[in-house]
Structure 1
Amino acid sequence: MVGTDTWNEYQAILHSLKDDIIVTKPDGTIMIASETAGDIYGMEADHLVGRSVFDLEKDGVFTPLATPMVLRMKKRVTFIQTAASGKKLMVTALPVQGPAGEITRIVSYSHDITELKELKSYIADMEDEMKQVQHELDRVKQKQLSQEGIVWKSHKMQQIIQTTEQVADVDVNVLLLGESGVGKSSLAQFIHKRSSRKDGPFIEINAGAISETLFEAELFGYVDGAFTGAKKGGSKGFAELAEGGTLFIDEIGELSQQNQVKLLKLIQEKQFYRIGGRELRTADFRLITATNKDLSESIAKHEFREDLYFRINVVPIQIPPLRERPDDIPALIDHMMETVSDKYRKKKVLDGVVWQELLLNRWTGNVRELINVIERLVVTSVGEVITLEDLPSEFRNNTPARFNKQPDETLPDTLARVERQILLEAKQHCKSTVKMAEFLGVSQPSVFRKLRKHGIN
Structure 2
Amino acid sequence: MKDTIVKNEMWESILNSTHNGLIVIDCDSHVLFANQSAKELFSKEKLSEGRFIQDLIPPASLDKVINEGIPSIGQKMEIANQQYFINITPLYHQGERSGAIGVIQDITRIEHYRSLFKQLEAIIEFSTDGIYVVDASGKTVFVNTAYEKMTGYNRKELIGNQMKDLMGKGYFDQSVSLLVLEEKKQISIIQKIAEKKEVIVTGSPVFDDMGEIELVVTSVRDITQLNEIRRELNKAKEISELSLHRFSLQAGQKDGQSIIFQSLKMKQVYQQVKQVAPFPTSILLSGPSGVGKEVITNLIHHLSSRKDKPLIKINCGAIPESLLESELFGYEKGAFTGARQEGKIGLLELADKGTIMLDEIGEMPLSLQVKLLRVIQEKQIRRIGGNKIRNLDIRIISATNKNLKELIDKGQFREDLYYRLNVIELDIPSLAERPEDIELLADYFFASFLKTYHIERQLSEATKQLLTAYHWPGNVRELKNLIENLVVAVPDEVIEPHHLPLHFYEQADPLLTLTLKQRVEQYERRLIKDAVKRSGSVRKAAKQLGVHHTTLVKKMKNWS
TM tier relative to shorter chain: 0.5 to 0.7
Partners of 1:400 and 1:306 in 2: CA distance: 41
Q: Which residue of 2 aligns with 1:210?
A: 319
Distance 1:348 1:222, change over 3 A: same
Over residues 143-166 of structure 1, what are the superposed CA-to-partner deviations in whole Å (9 max), with x where a residue is unaligned?
Answer: 442754111100111111111011
Name structure 2 gaps, 5 residues minimum. Answer: 1-169, 171-191, 200-221, 235-239, 242-246, 514-560
Show the 5 A alignment for 1:419-438.
none
Residue 427 of structure 2 is matched in structure 1 by 318
* Aligned partner (choices 258, 276, 279) of residue 167 of structure 1: 276
Size of the aligned set, in residue pairs, is 286
Question: What one-letter code is carried by the residue in structure 1 that aligns with 2:396?
Answer: L
Is contact 1:253–1:293 with CA below 8 Å preserved after alignment? yes
1:271 aligns with 2:271: no
* Aligned partners of 1:270 and 1:284 also within 8 Å: yes
State the match for 1:358 in structure 2.
467
| Greater strand content | 2
Residue 121 of structure 1 deviates from its aligned partner by 12
Is the 8 Å Cα contact of residues 349 and 381 (structure 2) preserved in structure 1?
Answer: no
* Secondary structure of 2:511's aligned partner: helix
Could you say if the C-alpha distance between residues 135 and 328 of structure 1 is closer, same or farther in structure 2, counting changes exceeding 3 Å? farther
Shift of 1:184: 0.5
Letter in 1 for 2:266: M
Give the conservation status (yes or no) of the 8 Å contact 2:382–2:388.
Answer: yes
- Residue 357 of structure 1 contacts residue 397 of structure 1 at CA under 8 Å; is this kept in 2? no
CA pair 403-396 structure 1, distance change in 2 beyond 3 A: closer
Determine if the alignment matches structure 1 residue 145 to structure 2 residue 257: no
Distance 1:281 1:382, change over 3 A: same
How far apart are 1:132 and its partner, in Å?
Answer: 6.0
Query: How far 1:130 sits from its partner (Å)?
Result: 3.4
Post-superposition CA distance 1:337-358 (Å, at most 9, x none): 0111111111211122211111
Aligned-partner residue type, residue 325 of structure 2: E
**Which is richer in helix?**
1
C-alpha distance in 1 between matches for 2:325 and 2:197: 62
Whether 2:498 is the aligned partner of 1:373: answer no
Contact 1:176–1:319 (Cα < 8 Å) also in 2:
yes
Change (3 A) 1:308 1:168: same
Match of 1:133 among 206, 214, 226: 226
Which one of 353, 360, 384 corresponds to residue 244 of structure 1?
353
User: TM-score when scaled to structure 1?
Assistant: 0.59
8 Å Cα contact 1:175/1:314 also seen in 2: yes
Amino acid of the structure 2 residue aligned with 1:267: I
Runs of 4+ in structure 1 deviating by more than 3 angstroms, as ranges, are: 120-127, 129-139, 141-144, 397-400
1:224-276 Cα deviation digits (max 9, x unpaired): 22111112211111011101110110000111111111111111111121111
RMSD: 2.5
> Separation in 1 of the partners of 2:230 and 2:420?
37
Alignment correspondent of 2:299: 190
Within 2, Cα distance between the matches of 1:301 and 1:398? 35
**Which AA in structure 1 matches 2:250?**
L
Task: Summarize the Cα distance change of 1:121–1:178 in structure 2 as closer, same or farther, 3 Å threshold.
Answer: closer
Q: Quote the Cα distance in structure 1 between the aligned partners of 2:301 and 2:223.
A: 31
TM value normalised by structure 2: 0.48
SS of the residue corresponding to residue 420 of structure 2 reads helix
TM-superposed CA distance for 1:122, in Å, is: 7.6
Q: One-letter code of the match for 1:383?
A: D
Contact 1:353–1:399 (CA<8 Å) still a contact in 2?
Answer: no
Equivalent residue of 1:209, what SS?
coil
Further displaced range: 329-338 or 276-285? 276-285
Who is 1:260 aligned against?
A: 369
SS in 1 for 2:396: strand
Partners of 2:485 and 2:505 in 1: CA distance: 15
Match of 2:175 in 1: none
**Matched residue type, 1:151:** I
Q: Identity percentage over the alignment?
A: 45
SS in 2 for 1:162: helix
Which has more radius of gyration?
2
2:395 aligned with 1:286: yes
Q: Partners in 2 of 1:148 and 1:375 — Cα distance?
A: 15
What secondary structure does 1:196 align onto?
Answer: coil
Aligned equivalents of 2:343 and 2:393: distance in 1?
21
Please list the CA deviations of residues 90-126 of structure 1 after superposition, one character each: whole Å capped at 9, or x if unmatched: xxxxxxxxxxxxxxxxxxxxxxxxxx9xxx9985466
State the Cα deviation string for residues 381-437 of structure 1 (Å, max 9, x = none). 001111223212222355561359xxxxxxxxxxxxxxxxxxxxxxxxxxxxxxxxx
